[in-house]
């Protein structure tokens, strides 16, 4: 876990100091930390590339893409003067 988190901590500190801009992948990995820490097991079946760890990060990446698309659609509707039927809570 430290090998996963340490580079993110360094990037967050560099970003805080204005020397780095977090990438979308950096943000996804930061959002995945709590979920990774709560996994009961990190490894999958022997020989499988689909570990719970990788699956959680894939799900988080998908959630971020969906959230981004929804926010963009809402912004586009508002820019056209159309009130969205329902807004996302965020």
pLDDT in tens, 1-55: 899 999 999 999 999 999 999 999 999 999 999 998 888 776 666 555 667 888 8
pTM: 0.67
Are 9 and 26 a contacting pair, CB within 8 Å?
no
Look at the alpha carbons of 74, 23, 31, 19 in this order and tell me if their dihedral is positive or negative: negative
């Amino acid at each position: 876990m430290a090998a996963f988190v340490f580079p993110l901590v360094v990037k967050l500190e560099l970003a805080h100091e204005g020397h780095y801009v977090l990438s979308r992948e950096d943000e996804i990995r930061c959002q995945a930390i709590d979920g990774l820490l709560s996994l009961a097991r990190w490894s999958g079946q022997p020989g499988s590339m689909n570990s719970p760890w990788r699956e959680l990060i894939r799900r988080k990446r998908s959630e971020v893409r969906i959230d981004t698309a929804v926010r963009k659609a809402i912004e586009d509707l508002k820019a056209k003067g159309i009130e969205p039927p329902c807004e996302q809570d965020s």
